[in-house]
Each structure stands twice: as C-alpha cells, then as structure tokens.
C-alpha cells in the first residue's frame, strides 16, 4: 500500500519507519525544511533505539521518502496519517490547530486524486479528544467533494521501545464506520498483527479516541496507587516489593506497571490526564479518581527531596542543613532509555535542592544535552556516573538506567563523603545495602541506616 505520514515528530517518524518495515511505500511530510533535510541525511531528530537504522535502510531501498509537500504523494495514496502535535492549551485541553490545519491541507490537495480513486482513508493518529474525527471530517469536507473517510487509530507507543511496540502491537484500535476503511487499515497492520498475535479491535471513532486517553489514565492511576501504598508501607513498616508481588499475582490485577517510583512524567501521561479531565468537565462528568491521581503524582514528585531534607534536618540540626552540600544525581530523563526530560521528576528535585543552597552534579546516559539546554550552569555535569559521586555528600537516583543498578557500590561509596543514598527507583535491596554499610532511603521499604 502507499501512505502519507504527515508530521515527522515522535509518532510520525516511528509510524513512517514502521510501515516501511511492513513493506508499504511511505512518504513522510513535514513543513520544517531543516528537519526534512536532516532526516534525508539519516540524522533522526529524536532519540529512539532502532529508529536510525530503519530510517537509513528504508530510505536507501526507496520504500521510505520525505517531502515538504503533501501534494507529492496524495494522488496515489491509500491512506494519509495525521501525526502532528496536540500541545496542551492553557486550560488543559489538547490544542487541535495543527491537526485541523493538516486536515484543511489534505482537503485542498484532494483535487489531485484521480476521479475514480477509492476514498482516501485519513487517519487521526495524534492523541486527540473525543469528537476530533468529526471535526477533521468537516475540515476536509469544507475543501473537497472527492471521497474520503476519517478513521481514529490511536498509538500506544512507549518511548524507548516505540519501534518494538509498533512492530509487535498488543492490539490495533481502529475507529471507523465503513468496511473500506477497515480493509485498508487491516492491510496496513495485518502483517504485524499476524506476527505478534495482537488483537484487531474495530470500533466507532469516538470509542477509539476515548480508548487512548482511558488507557493512559488507567496506567497513571495504577502508578499513583502503588506510590501511595508505598508511602503507607514506610509508615507501617511494610515492604512494597512484597505487597506488589502479593497483589500482582492476582491475575485480575497483573504484575506489570506496579513499580513505585518518584512520580510519573513524560510527554503523555501528564498531558493526556489533563485533556481527559477537561473532557470530563465539559461533559458535566468530573473524573474524580483521575483528579486524585494527578494530585498524588504532584506529591510523589516531591518525595525524594522531602527524604533528603528530613535526613539532613535530623543529622545536622542546623538552620540551613543543605547549604554548601553537594549531591550526585544519577538519571535525568523521565524514565530509562530515552533522552526526554519533559515533566521529569529530576527537574523538580534539582529545583528543590538548589533552592536550599545545595549543589547538584548530574549524570544521564542520553538526556545531558537536553538538560544543558534547559538548566545551563545551574548544575554541574559529570563526565561519567562514577565521577559525579566524587566528594558528594550523598547519591540520589531518579532514573532506572540499568547501568546504575549494575554499578560497583563499593567504589561508589569510596568516592562519596559518606555512604548515603536516596534511591527513587528501588534499584537495590535494603538488606544488602545495610550489610554493605550504607544509609539507604528508597520508596516504600524501610530506611536502613548504620546508626
Ligand atoms: C506512555 C504509555 O505507556 C504509552 O502507551 C503511550 O502511548 C504514551 O505514554 P511513555 O510516556 O513513553 O508511554 O512511558 P511509560 O513507560 O508508560 O512510563 C510513564 C511514566 O510512568 C514514567 O515516568 C515511568 O517512570 C513511570 N512508571 C512506569 C512508574 O513510575 N512505574 C511503573 O511501573 C511504570
């Protein structure tokens, strides 16, 4: 099949490369000339494992190309994917201006299609509120009387494993009203679904649109729930690792996505929760459990800083116990395997420590450049994660990069002024840390100290 993928951001690039991998002919479109020139040279504007290789291979084979102009490919296209951004507006809702302007451009370019062409399947892949398919339909219909259909096909890609998620989907959700649109979508994804055994879920467009938000909200709710249970574990002397195992082995609950941590971040959960809350308010149906999820996460992002303060308040009794102290911070990205620092808890942690007069030396495997652009010389940048620890009062961990979990803790302890760690990702077991002579704070387990 031949498709257009409009928007070469995160979702668009992964979709373009993924569909090319399935054997389709793909033309990626963006109005940013600099970006298109770079992608054509093989330089991906985003960090995503495996993406560069697919972009290079399929551009070389000719199955994937990029252009500034969607009229280049619309005549022969079976489908056009809208993958442009839906940034958060001030009131929390998703800003649809880019989606609707692409819809208008598709409408104008429809005149280039042969008169006997099958209806163009226009696919909303950007995360959009319920009712957007109807608005996209209206925006295109205002410009053309040639046949087309609008389909909602949300993505469920996780940063860091987006290629794998695309190629081996758990499910493909397709909101459409005609068999023609369903057949085109099945043709596009069929190979992946066959290989992964994933489910094909056909439904109406509003249900597909809501599925995306509901999935993210449900996952966020799970995280906030386990984080709150973790906080309670600390109060009552329980261990969240055991509680997690105990509840996760009930097949109705399941063991995945129950890792307590320093609060969820990223470009999706926080934004999508706000957008869904807005949809609820607009429909006089407040989503109270989600409001609580957001509130719990706001608190959770402070938890590590509160632990640091409590530790040094107790230890020093001085009025400004953090002034002049130096902390090593391992991990800046909102999670491992990405360079993304949007809504990352590390940023709030740095703010809190800096406002109390502490100096922070940071390390991350991918996000250093993004942090340099955002924070400049407000923090120090370590050449490697061991070096960050030299002469620091304590080590803080905000991102679960596997290299940190495999670090030589004896060596780390030797570089720090004292063996004190605040681990926001529970990378180590408290008993082992106690035996190795550490004072170890983590999430939802007893704090071990050498006193
Ligand atoms: C998420 C959804 O998983 C994906 O389906 C959707 O398309 C986009 O949003 P992503 O933002 O890439 O993907 O990250 P994800 O792996 O879901 O993690 C989100 C946040 O939750 C991160 O901050 C992560 O550290 C946190 N998290 C995740 C936990 O704290 N505990 C967990 O058990 C899982």
| pLDDT per residue rounded down to tens, the chain (451 residues) | 999 999 999 999 999 999 999 999 999 999 999 999 999 988 888 889 999 999 999 999 999 999 999 999 999 999 999 999 999 898 888 899 999 999 999 999 999 999 999 999 999 998 898 999 999 999 999 999 999 999 999 999 999 999 999 999 999 999 999 999 999 999 999 999 999 999 999 999 999 999 999 999 999 999 999 999 999 999 999 999 999 999 999 999 999 999 999 999 998 999 999 999 999 999 999 999 999 999 999 999 999 999 999 999 866 666 667 899 999 999 999 999 999 999 999 999 999 999 999 999 999 999 999 999 999 999 999 999 999 999 999 999 999 999 999 999 999 999 999 999 999 999 999 999 999 999 999 999 999 998 7
What is the rounded CA–CA span in Å between residue 93 and residue 300? 24
∠151-22-108 over CA atoms, to 5°? 40
The rounded Cα 185 to chain-centroid distance in angstroms is: 25
Which of 269, 333, 336 to mutate for ligand 1's pocket (most ligand atoms within 8 Å of CB)? 269
Specify whether the CB–CB gap between 191 and 77 falls below 8 A: no
Q: What integer pLDDT is reported at residue 43 of this predicted model?
A: 87
User: What pLDDT shows up at residue 320?
Assistant: 65
Please check if 271 is assigned to a binding site: yes
pLDDT score recorded for residue 450: 81
Q: Which atom of ligand 1 is nearest to the CA of 262?
A: 30
Residues 344, 285 share a domain: no
Q: Is the dihedral of CA 293, 298, 299, 302 positive or negative?
A: positive
The ligand 1 atom nearest the CA atom of 335: 25
Active site residues: 268
What pLDDT, on a 0 to 100 scale, did the predictor assign at position 95?
94
Residue 100 sits in the same domain as residue 12: yes
CA–CA distance, 173 with 199 (Å, rounded to integer): 8
Q: Give the count of domains, the chain.
A: 3
Structure tokens at 171: 């499910």
Cβ(264) – ligand 1 distance below 6 Å: yes
Helix 10-21 with 51-61: angle, nearest 10 deg? 50
Do residues 361 and 382 share a domain? yes
Within-domain flag for 450? no
Q: Does some domain include residue 135?
A: yes
Boundary residue ending a domain (283, 298, 313)? 298
Report yes or no on 423 lying in a domain.
yes
- Which residue range forms the structural domain that includes residue 324? 301-441
How far out from the chain centre does Cα 94 lie? 16
Query: Rounded CA gap, 317 and 440, in Å?
Result: 20
Evaluate: CB of 44 within 6 angstroms of ligand 1.
Answer: no
Residues 305, 294, single domain; the answer is no
Instruction: Say if residues 16 and 8 touch (Cβ distance below 8 Å).
Output: yes
Residues 177 and 245: their CA atoms lie apart, in Å, by: 43
Atom of ligand 1 nearest to the CA of 220: 21
Residue 165 CB neighbour total at 10 angstroms: 18
Q: What is the pLDDT of residue 38?
A: 93
How many CB atoms neighbour CB 97 within 10 A?
12
Q: Give residue 118 CA to ligand 1 midpoint distance, Å.
A: 39
Nearest CA-CA partner of 110 in 149, 143, 151? 143
Which residue is listed with tokens 């400004």? Answer: 320
Q: Which of 298, 328, 352 is the endpoint of a domain?
A: 298
Q: Are residues 119 and 223 in the same domain?
A: no
Ligand 1 contact via 254 beta carbon (within 6 Å): no
The reply to whether 415 falls in a domain is yes
Note whether 185 and 52 are same-domain residues. yes
Residue 451 lies in a domain: no
Pocket of ligand 1 contains residue 158 by CB under 6 Å: yes
CATH number of the domain at 115, please.
3.40.50.720
Domain final position from 243, 268, 298: 298
151 with 43, same domain?
yes
pLDDT at 318: 62
């949300």: which residue's tokens?
Answer: 154
């Amino acid at each position: 099949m031949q498709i257009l993928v409009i928007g070469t951001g995160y979702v668009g690039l992964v979709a373009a490369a993924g569909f090319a991998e399935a054997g389709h002919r793909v033309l990626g479109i963006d109005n940013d000339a600099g970006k298109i020139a770079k992608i054509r040279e093989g330089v991906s504007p985003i960090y995503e494992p495996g993406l560069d290789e697919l972009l290079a291979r399929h551009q070389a084979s000719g199955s994937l190309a990029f252009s500034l102009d969607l009229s280049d490919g619309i005549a022969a296209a079976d489908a056009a994917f809208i993958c442009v951004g839906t940034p958060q507006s001030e009131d929390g809702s998703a800003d649809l201006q880019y989606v609707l302007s692409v819809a208008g451009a598709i409408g104008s370019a429809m005149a280039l299609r042969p008169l006997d062409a099958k209806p163009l399947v226009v696919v909303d892949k950007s995360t959009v509120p319920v009712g957007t398919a109807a608005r996209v339909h209206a925006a295109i219909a205002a410009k053309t009387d040639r046949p087309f259909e609008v389909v909602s096909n949300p993505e469920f890609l996780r940063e860091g494993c987006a290629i794998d998620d695309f190629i081996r989907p758990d499910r493909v959700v397709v909101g459409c009203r005609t068999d023609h649109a369903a057949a085109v979508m099945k043709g596009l994804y069929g190979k992946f679904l066959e290989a992964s055994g994933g489910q094909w879920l056909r439904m109406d467009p509003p249900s597909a649109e809501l599925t995306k938000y509901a999935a993210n909200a449900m996952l966020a709710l799970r995280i906030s729930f386990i984080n709150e249970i973790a906080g309670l574990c600390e109060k009552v002397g329980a261990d969240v690792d055991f509680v997690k195992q105990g509840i996760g082995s009930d097949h109705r609950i399941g063991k995945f996505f129950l890792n307590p941590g320093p609060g969820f971040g990223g470009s999706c959960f926080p934004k999508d929760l706000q957008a869904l809350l807005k949809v609820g308010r607009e429909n006089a149906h407040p989503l109270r459990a989600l409001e609580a999820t957001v509130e719990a996460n706001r608190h959770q992002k402070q938890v590590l800083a509160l632990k640091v303060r409590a530790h040094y308040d107790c230890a020093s009794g001085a009025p400004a116990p953090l002034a002049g102290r130096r902390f090593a911070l391992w991990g800046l990205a909102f999670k491992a395997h990405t360079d993304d620092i949007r809504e990352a808890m590390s940023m709030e942690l740095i703010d809190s420590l800096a406002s109390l007069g502490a100096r922070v030396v940071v390390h991350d495997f991918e996000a250093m450049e993004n942090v340099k652009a955002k924070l400049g010389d407000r923090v120090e940048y370590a050449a490697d994660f061991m070096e960050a620890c030299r002469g620091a009062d304590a080590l803080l961990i905000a991102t679960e990069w596997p290299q940190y979990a495999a670090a030589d803790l004896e060596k780390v302890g030797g570089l720090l002024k004292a063996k004190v760690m605040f681990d926001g990702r529970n990378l180590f077991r408290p008993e082992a840390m106690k035996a190795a002579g550490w004072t170890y704070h983590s999430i939802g387990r007893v704090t071990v100290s050498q006193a």
